[in-house]
Structure 1
Amino acid sequence: MTELNIALALVGATVLAMGLVSRLLNRSVLSPPLLAFLVGVMAGPVLGWLDPARWGDEMAILEQAARLTLGVSLMGIALRLPPRFVFRQGRSLILLLALGMPLMWLASSGLAFGVLDLTLMTALMLGAAVCATDPVVASSIVTGGVATGNLPGRFRHTLSAESALNDGLALPLVMLPILLLGSANAPLQDWLLHVLLWQVVVAVVLGAILGWLAGTALRLAEARDLIDQPSFLVTTLALTVLALGGAKALGTDSILAVFATGIAFDQQVGGKERSEEARVQEAVNLFFTLPVFMLVGLMIPWRDWLALGWAGPALVLSILALRRLPVILLLRPGIGPWRDWPVALLAGWFGPIGVSALFYAMLVHRETGDHSVWVGASLLVAASLLVHGVSAAPLAKYYGRRHGD
């Protein structure tokens, strides 16, 4: 009970302190996720105040915390994007997801296999876990006064949409080596039918139906004056939890279902409703984002990182440099919003690794018991928080000076 109270006080103090200086943080080289991670490191490995291993199954705790954080973040992105943006930029997004994402998976897997002492299947699982652009860290890069004042909307919105979509679509890439490692008689058939068809396609359909029904119900309730302001402001949070729990209960991809729900819901609301829902969702997003990074800081396997020796820094440098940038530059002519070289370079660099990698590393650990994926993924998350967090504001300001209107 003492640790619980310490954890609650630490979370509350951290969120409160960062909220009071949020404008300064947006202009500095220290991003809120990075600071929250450092608070967790200080409270756990350094000072020994908190130890998640004493709370129960720490891997299960992190998996569910990451899933909830991703759900809230994806709903916020769906409400933040311009209306019908994912449909207008469908060709570019399909190229990024259908070709870019598998290439990033193969690049990450090949680098992990070459640098670390891993089997091919383990390298494929690690590569799949870290190939997606994380929507939680990406949101801290593309929102705030510095980003909106210096970075073009076509860069910010496309990065947000890509990170939201590929977060859920990373599931088939993670599950393929897991199924190949398992004892199933027909792993490819199981992958096609259970993973692609049921978990992915059905998740999108269910999410779209749920979002449309919720948006329609909200409009009817407003038209008949059945809803008051407090009920209105919690609508999207309740919808997020409903989509997460319902999709998971049906065995589908709950992460992808939440984004489909948010996009469909967003098509039914607009104007004042849309702006108010987006604001409350962003506030909730901040509250859920910081605690999960504090939890990661508490859990970092620093002894396993040290045991990697030179391979640890080599993995970080190679994947941060080669996982995304070459792929984006290769596909640049087909990605309309990123066709210009300066924007393509920005998009190639800002592909952070974060909560989604933790979620899939926990999934791999639960399904296979493989600890090495968690070690590699957590190291890459910590490095990405540092490198992308520190470089976000300076590069945004540099771009604004050189290329801004």
Structure 2
Amino acid sequence: MAVTPADGALSPVTALALVGVVGVGAQWIAWKLRLPGIVLMLVAGVLIGPVFGVLDPARDIGPLTQPLIAIAVAVILFEGGLTLNFRSLSDAAVGVKRLVFVGAPLGWLLSTLALRYGAGLSWESSAVFGGIMIVTGPTVIAPLLRQARLSRRPAALLQWEAIVNDPLGALAAVLAFEVVLVLNSATSVGSAAGELVMGVAVATITGVAAGYGLARAFRHGQVPEHMKVPVLFVLLIAIFALSDSVLHESGLLAVTIMGLVIANADLPSYEELRRFKEHATILLVSGVFILLAASLDFSALGRLDWRAALFVAAVVLVARPLTVMASLIGSGIPYREQLLVALTGPRGVVLVAVAGLFGERLVQLGVEDGALIGPLAFVLVAATVVLHGFTLGPFAKALGLTAAGTPGVLIVGGSRWTTLLAEALKKAEVPVLIADANRGHLRRAREAGIPTFFGDVLSEAAEHRIDFVGYSTLIAATDNDAYNTLVATDLAPEMGREKVFQVTREKSEQVRHALPATLGGRPLGDGATYREMELRVWQGWQFRLTGLTEEFTLEDWRAKRPDAMLIGVIGAGGALRLVGPDDKVEAGAGARLLTLRPEDAGEQPPPDVNGKKAATDS
């Protein structure tokens, strides 16, 4: 690393590279170890920052640190707004409205009381920080939801509340700060109120105008495809800067509204924009968390006493539950879901960034305990991130509000062979769903008791009725090769390309019919086509589950069944991994093999009326 001999400081370029490597590396390690990514990022930032002193953002990056964090938070909130399509609200709409219009003011009040009587802050500091605490952290919620795999409605409640209340929390802090400013200076109430109204109006108008104007330009082809993302980024930063120049922190509201408008504009390029933004957000969340954790001043934390712990307990166990339960009274949302949302309130990047800013401003106004706002914010974030990072999944599972414990398989295309495959998966206790736009194709599956979805799997109806979180693997297996390729290509970024399969296309080996690797899914089994799979089933082939032991290994099975097609391996824990013709398969004792093989000569052939013979263990 490039280190200056004088003071051991890193160069800004080296410091930013270190932030990226540590942030993304922590997320990758968390994925490998199945641990909460947010927790590892927090720990990694503290270790390279105040513990070992490798990185000091103020020393190594200097005055650019805060602007970088501000822009990153703006991009994160914009991406959050970009995910808020009103049609995705469905049955969570009432709850979201309650959490925003009732929960935000009530949360402000209860958080202020927790700060005043729990942490012992003055009313001025409590009111300002209490407004910021409306924020529940979209930068934290998104990774937690991916990890916990919640069912649709509680996940939607938590996501919408976090993103919508995020800019509202910043504006509440602005409002409280303006009141404190009036009481501690010669500024009149009228001018302070006018500044606040003007800032909110400018943020709303610019956000709506920018979102509508950009959507219109994209829809009418006024921006070429290769420039859409750059134009989007430049406009996003410009809107944030413009609104922020009128009223500090109102830029967060502007970019959130801008994202919301674009999300509901039905743009043909929307998916490409959203996916690119998601990738950028992962990088930015990593960077911001590492920067904030590395900037932690242990001496500032040393000014806190036992009342800090009392404050955190009051927020987690009293203020948050009361806010949510009171807001959702009469909403029709089941009590279990209310309880889950009530006891899930992680705070994140925006809270720390905004709290530190307003803490400094309060100190400048003569409110001395404003210096405690930053340390208290960090303690609250650290406590809630660790708490919810380790407990959200188990708690939701205990309440029955998670997707199936074993990740399921979504099969697109109803037929004789996909129904038999689904029966074998069901026997292995792997959740399975067959979707088809032709109701007749689903008859066998319904008669066999297999869950089905009648409709196009790419439709909006499918988004609302299929809980995609519960399915980690996709098999595109209709009799239409072009549609299979479309489905696999569209859903691969969401489910992971390594877990999206399709039956091999007819004539795919011919040059004029070959497609680039970016299109379609992976071949299934030995690479058979739809017609070949159907033919094998008509000839009496059956899907079978074969258990492996210390005595009967994978090699023994291969020697005994050289004609069988290996479809997948079910591990000892019940998780299924489908395989393709080029996959190197490893399976030990306790695993089960899912195969398609011909019937033995001495076995009775399966009834072929509806193809309903159940798969059995070999």
TM-score range, shorter chain: 0.7 to 0.9
Q: CA deviation at 1:288?
A: 0.4
1:133 counterpart residue number: 136
Q: 1:46 aligned to 2:45? A: no
1:213 counterpart residue number: 213
Paired with 1:213 and 1:245, the residues of 2 have a C-alpha distance of 18
Q: 1:303-334: per-residue Cα shift (whole Å, max 9, x none)?
A: 33233232222222221222211111112135
Q: CA deviation at 1:357?
A: 1.2
Q: CA deviation at 1:76?
A: 1.8
Out of 314, 330, 333, the residue aligned to residue 318 of structure 1 is 314
Q: CA deviation at 1:257?
A: 0.4
Q: 1:131-168: per-residue Cα shift (whole Å, max 9, x none)?
A: 321111112222x2x44xx4222222232222222111
Q: 1:391 aligned to 2:391? A: yes
Q: 1:162 aligned to 2:161? A: yes
Paired with 1:65 and 1:378, the residues of 2 have a C-alpha distance of 19
Higher relative contact order (CA 8 A, sep 6+): 1
1:107 counterpart residue number: 110
Q: 1:345-392: per-residue Cα shift (whole Å, max 9, x none)?
A: 111122211112123213313422331111211211111221122223
2:445 counterpart residue number: none
Give the alignment's TM-score, normalised by structure 1: 0.85
Out of 320, 344, 348, the residue aligned to residue 350 of structure 1 is 344
**Conservation of the 8 A alpha-carbon contact between 1:125 and 1:373:** no
Letter in 2 for 1:214: L
Assess, with a 3 A threshold, how the Cα gap between structure 1 residues 324 and 188 changes in structure 2: closer, same or farther.
farther
Q: 1:154-212: per-residue Cα shift (whole Å, max 9, x none)?
A: 222232222222111123421344233324556543443221x2222331222011101
Q: Mind listing any 5+ residue stretches in structure 1 that lack a counterpart?
A: none
**Conservation of the 8 A alpha-carbon contact between 2:83 and 2:263:** no
1:368 counterpart residue number: 362
1:152 counterpart residue number: 151
* Greater displacement, 256-265 / 153-162: 153-162
Letter in 2 for 1:61: T
Out of 249, 252, 255, the residue aligned to residue 255 of structure 1 is 252
What does 1:163-182 correspond to in 2, within 5 Å?
Answer: 163-182=162-181
Paired with 2:79 and 2:231, the residues of 1 have a C-alpha distance of 12
Q: CA deviation at 1:84?
A: 4.4
2:198 counterpart residue number: 198
**Conservation of the 8 A alpha-carbon contact between 1:76 and 1:278:** yes
What does 1:26-45 correspond to in 2, within 5 Å?
Answer: 28=34, 30-45=35-50
Paired with 1:125 and 1:80, the residues of 2 have a C-alpha distance of 29
Q: CA deviation at 1:112?
A: 1.6
**Conservation of the 8 A alpha-carbon contact between 2:137 and 2:351:** yes
2:65 counterpart residue number: 61
Aligned residues: 388
Q: 1:97 aligned to 2:85? A: no
RMSD across aligned C-alpha pairs, in angstroms? 2.9
Q: Secondary structure at the match of 2:381?
A: helix
**Conservation of the 8 A alpha-carbon contact between 1:133 and 1:352:** yes
1:189 counterpart residue number: 190
Q: Secondary structure at the match of 2:172?
A: helix
Q: Secondary structure at the match of 1:333?
A: coil
Paired with 1:131 and 1:371, the residues of 2 have a C-alpha distance of 20
Give the alignment's TM-score, normalised by structure 2: 0.57
2:335 counterpart residue number: 341
Q: 1:10-46: per-residue Cα shift (whole Å, max 9, x none)?
A: 2232244346557546xx3x32222222111111111
1:359 counterpart residue number: 353
1:73 counterpart residue number: 76
* Greater displacement, 6-15 / 285-294: 6-15
Paired with 1:236 and 1:161, the residues of 2 have a C-alpha distance of 23
1:282 counterpart residue number: 278
Q: CA deviation at 1:52?
A: 2.8
Paired with 1:316 and 1:265, the residues of 2 have a C-alpha distance of 37
Letter in 1 for 2:21: A
Q: Secondary structure at the match of 1:261?
A: helix
Paired with 1:343 and 1:326, the residues of 2 have a C-alpha distance of 14
Q: Secondary structure at the match of 1:307?
A: coil
**Conservation of the 8 A alpha-carbon contact between 2:42 and 2:293:** yes
Q: 1:11 aligned to 2:19? A: yes
Q: CA deviation at 1:111?
A: 1.5
Q: Secondary structure at the match of 1:173?
A: helix
Letter in 2 for 1:111: A
Paired with 1:165 and 1:204, the residues of 2 have a C-alpha distance of 13
Paired with 1:288 and 1:381, the residues of 2 have a C-alpha distance of 18
Paired with 2:331 and 2:221, the residues of 1 have a C-alpha distance of 40
Assess, with a 3 A threshold, how the Cα gap between structure 1 residues 213 and 372 changes in structure 2: closer, same or farther.
same
Q: Secondary structure at the match of 2:329?
A: helix
Q: Secondary structure at the match of 1:278?
A: helix
Letter in 2 for 1:255: L
Letter in 1 for 2:42: F
* Greater displacement, 8-17 / 97-106: 8-17
Higher strand share: 2
- Structure number, greater radius of gyration: 2
Q: Secondary structure at the match of 2:141?
A: helix
Assess, with a 3 A threshold, how the Cα gap between structure 1 residues 237 and 396 changes in structure 2: closer, same or farther.
farther
Letter in 2 for 1:201: A
Letter in 2 for 1:377: A
